[in-house]
Chain A
Amino acid sequence: MPEQKGKLRKKELTINMGPQHPATHGVLRLELDIDGETVVKCTPHVGYLHRGTEKLGENRTYLAALPLTDRLDYISSMANNVGYCLAVERLFGIEAPERAKFIRTMASEMARISSHLLWLGTHALDIGAMTVFLYAFKEREWILDLFEMLTGARLTVTYPRIGGVRNDVSEEFLSSLYKFTDEFPKNIEEYETLIDQNRIWLQRTKNIGIITAEEAVNWGLTGPMLRGSGVDYDLRKYCPYDAYDKVDFDVPLGKNGDTYDRYRCRMEEMRQSARIIRQCIEKLPEGPVMTPDAPKFTLPPKERILKDMEAMIQHFVLVIKGPVTAPDGEIYSAIEAPKGELGFYFISNGTGKPYRMRLRSPSFIHASVLPLLCEGALVADVIANIGTIDIVLGECDR
């Protein structure tokens, strides 16, 4: 820049945060214009994890695109699977049996607990409370063990199927899960003892990153981000899917819409999740876990394929063409994922593959609110703000 004599030029310093930064939860990049310690302008850059999931979905049958949804919001893959399966089920006009619905509800809430625990651990770690991270991951490991018991995988589960779930739950699993719901609320109290009265935690979260209820609605926020501002909107309550209308739970609300309120909301949600899981186990009905329409959507067992001609043909058609009974038309179906409203939008042209698959991911929308939170705040609060919006870049960039 050519120097001008006699004039003192004042300019904001532009710093680049990410994509390799431990506090950005993946590969988010923020371009910060700072004036001293104050952020003047904040520009989020996304797309560092753009894997082309939507495009891949168009080139795969409805069955084969299911594993891709695990890797969107990889912290709560079960919720994504359920969202995808529900959307496809609604498109085909089929319904999962009652028992499968309860199992899905249970599994989604397990995913919510695991997601919120990871959020709590990393958020606290970023703000400077390392112990919480170690405590939260202890219980998270427990949840992952339960997932492994149920599905055989820890993280990317691919457990729900179109028209039900893959396998039935065992008595052993149910009793272990029941034990977990017994002890987990005590653990939440433990985390709260660690940080609730912590002066540093309070200073770094109270009145930081305030979003008013009106702003939250205008920006399209959902999930704990919206409920932290006091807006009572939860798809599980207002548009119940699976077995959510048969269980009893509260929707925790915040008041001020700051980081601390959102923290309180998520902590309370974990308690409610444990409550839902408990009720699901108690009310779990008997019956099949796959719909009677299942042969149209699931591959027959391998032993039958080798012996039975019909099964062989069915297998071949499903793999090559996909479920070909898809009606023409489009559908939007949303669920309440741990991060917010996760929507799947399909345009079907009557073949076994969607013509267009579109995702409404909460993380992308929440990332867009970062400038609102950060501008005018201090650089240190940017970290708290990234933590509180709880984004996962796999889902954000897709």
Chain B
Amino acid sequence: MNRQSEDCVIEIEEGIKVIPGAGAVIAGIDKIANWGRISSMWPAVFGTACCAIEMMTAGSSHYDLDRFGIIFRASPRQADVMIISGTVTKKMAPVMRRVYDQMAEPRYVIAMGSCACTGNVYNTYSTAQGCDNFLPVDVYIPGCPPRPEAFIDGLIKLQEKIKNEHLRWSRWR
């Protein structure tokens, strides 16, 4: 925190300034919206296979995702980011797309694990070769399964991505 004594403005984040006592914030609208978004990413859990266990581990006591403001939500309607952790089968793909469609915008997708990224060793009749066939993926986290540290790194990458976004006055992104 950087207090500037002459005009009593506190810069709480790069480009976002607060005037204490006045209840006012000085910032570009992009900056302030992104700042709000990165600090409270609520993921809709879509654990399908092995990676879901590592995702749970990342959310539990040792790794503690709460410190990033990340709290798992069961309902897609209350979520900002969808974490696809595990193999996506052809039977599962329509369900996954439907859950994605239920999420409110802006929405992001993280493909966790090699199966969700590319299909991994499961090059079979029943497995979709990566969830980017039917979803716009923002961050890919490879690994079989990725360690919780790698998963957290993926989340931070997504935060950086959101930080640099510009607010577009259009309905589609």
Residues of B within 8 A of A140 (CB): 57
Judged by a CB distance under 8 angstroms, whether B53 is at the interface is: yes
Give the contacting residue for A22; candidates B74, B89, B99, B127; CB below 8 A: B74
Contact A137 B147 (CB under 8 A): no
Contact B50 A48 (CB under 8 A): no
Distance A156 CA – B86 CA, assembled complex (angstroms): 13
Judged by a CB distance under 8 angstroms, whether B144 is at the interface is: yes
The proximity string for A residues 112-150 relative to B, scoring 1 for CB distances below 8 Å and 0 otherwise, is 000000100110000000000111011011001000000
Judged by a CB distance under 8 angstroms, whether B49 is at the interface is: yes
Contact A26 B92 (CB under 8 A): no
Give the contacting residue for A155; candidates B50, B61, B92, B125; CB below 8 A: B50
Contact A394 B49 (CB under 8 A): yes
Residues of B within 8 A of A74 (CB): 49-50, 53, 145
The proximity string for B residues 69-90 relative to A, scoring 1 for CB distances below 8 Å and 0 otherwise, is 0001010100000000011010
Binding site for B on A (CB under 8 A): 19-22, 26-27, 47-52, 55-56, 67-68, 71, 74-75, 118, 121-122, 133-135, 137-138, 140-141, 144, 154-156, 393-394
Give the contacting residue for B121; candidates A49, A67, A121, A144; CB below 8 A: A67
Distance A19 CA – B96 CA, assembled complex (angstroms): 9
**Shortest distance between the CB of B54 and any CB in chain A (Å):** 6
Judged by a CB distance under 8 angstroms, whether B168 is at the interface is: no
Contact B74 A137 (CB under 8 A): no
Residues of A within 8 A of B125 (CB): 52, 55
Give the contacting residue for A50; candidates B74, B76, B91, B99; CB below 8 A: B91
Residues of B within 8 A of A47 (CB): 89, 91
Q: Which of B12-30 touch A at CB < 8 Å?
A: none
Residues of A within 8 A of B86 (CB): 49
The proximity string for B residues 97-141 relative to A, scoring 1 for CB distances below 8 Å and 0 otherwise, is 001000000000000000000000110111100000000000000
Contact A51 B87 (CB under 8 A): yes
**Shortest distance between the CB of A22 and any CB in chain B (Å):** 4
Binding site for A on B (CB under 8 A): 45-50, 52-54, 56-57, 60-62, 72, 74, 76, 86-87, 89, 91-92, 95-96, 99, 121-122, 124-127, 144-145, 147
Contact A52 B49 (CB under 8 A): no
Give the contacting residue for B124; candidates A51, A118, A121, A138; CB below 8 A: A51
Residues of A within 8 A of B72 (CB): 22
Contact A27 B126 (CB under 8 A): no
**Shortest distance between the CB of B143 and any CB in chain A (Å):** 10
Residues of B within 8 A of A118 (CB): 53, 56
Distance A133 CA – B72 CA, assembled complex (angstroms): 14
Q: A56-B122, A155-B54 are in contact. Are A19 and B145 (CB under 8 A)?
A: no
User: 7 additional contacts, CB 8 Å, given A47-B91, A50-B89, A154-B147?
Assistant: A20-B96, A20-B99, A47-B89, A49-B87, A55-B124, A56-B121, A56-B122
Contact B124 A155 (CB under 8 A): no
Q: Which residue of A lies closest to B95 (CB)?
A: A19
